[in-house]
Amino acid sequence: MTNPEETKDKFYEDLEAILSSVPQTDKLLLLGDFNARVGKDHQAWSGIIGHHGIGKCNGNGILLPRTCATYGLTLTNTMFRLKTSMRHMIDYLMFRAKDKQDVLVTKALCGADCWTDHRPIVSKIRLQIKAKRRPQVQKVAKRMNVNKLKLPEIQEELQTNLTRQLSELESNNWESLSKTIHAAAPQVLGSKTRNHQDWFDENDAEIQNLLTEKHRLFKIHKNDPDSTSKKNAYCGKRSEVQKKQRIMQDTWLSNKADEIQGYADRHNMTRFHESLKCVYGPSTPGTSSLLGADGSLITKKNEILERWAEHFDSVLNRP
């Protein structure tokens, strides 16, 4: 309080230089003795001073909230309603306003029995760290569905479309020809899509109605978790949905088994293997690398097999 205004301004300039160097995605915790009595005017400093401030504001009580407003900080001492005999506070713990839910409590303890305005500050914090967002992958051009070219009508349509667009070309260089072909083919062939089959039928009206009702009862149960009737209603509907899904899955697997057996009886190996992939999913090609006994990375197939043999030999063959 006895320092001139130039000294105080220099202090806050240095402080703001440090605060501005902290990335916005990082957690920011600022604590210390600022000799500032911010008071309890939470309306003037909304989001910065909580509803439970104490005392009156002094000269330094303007500088600190102003800095907090610039960098989105909240004075956590003023957030909690606690029993206290203090007439004012000058030691603070500040946290980003967007992360204030991480602060469970901040309170001042009884100080030493001597002439001092300072109190030990204790804060309990449970940091909630969000996972970093994955970088956006560059979009890959979709493959055209060339299987449609097996149909005579598709061949004729593509030929007609290409003939019309090529006749409108002003220049006959390779670049113009390539652009025309790549523009005409997707219009006729379309993009290739994956038609992976599974047992869940999205078009089944009964299962959709059951899922909608289950979600509705779940929200009601969460809004009033102490209600036994609402919990029983949700659990009953959940059991009904699970029963319906089991019946749907068993029916799909039974029909798929008959289909696979039919392909096997007709010796249609192409459709036979395609149907098996629908049930078990595609196989994973290749083998993954291993670490050798000395910590080196092994990638060759024969060395990987030898490493597995060495591993199981040491694990299984013991005295």
Closest CA to 76 of 40, 44, 103: 103
**76-102 residue pLDDT tens:** 888 888 776 666 677 888 888 888 888
**256-300 residue pLDDT tens:** 899 999 999 999 998 898 888 888 766 666 667 888 888 888 888
Half-sphere exposure of 221 (CA within 13 A, CB side): 17
E strands within the chain?
Answer: 29-33, 73-75, 91-96, 103-108, 121-125, 290-291, 297-298
The structural domains of the chain, with segments of one domain joined by +, span 5-125, 146-189, 205-280, 289-319
Other Cβ atoms within 10 Å of 287 Cβ, number:
12
Please report which confidence band the pLDDT of residue 111 belongs to, taking 50, 70 and 90 as the band edges. Answer: low
Residue 138 has pLDDT above 70, yes or no: no
- Strand-pair partners of 92: 32
Backbone φ and ψ for 75, nearest 5 degrees, come out as: -80, 100
Distance in angstroms between the alpha carbons of the first and the last residue of the chain? 79
More confident call, 114 vs 289 = 289
Here the tokens at position 198 are: 């599974």
- Where does residue 45 rank: exposed (0-12), middle (13-18), buried (19+ CB within 10 A)? buried
Residue carrying structure tokens 């500050």: 121
CATH superfamily, domain at 5-125: Endonuclease/exonuclease/phosphatase (3.60.10.10)
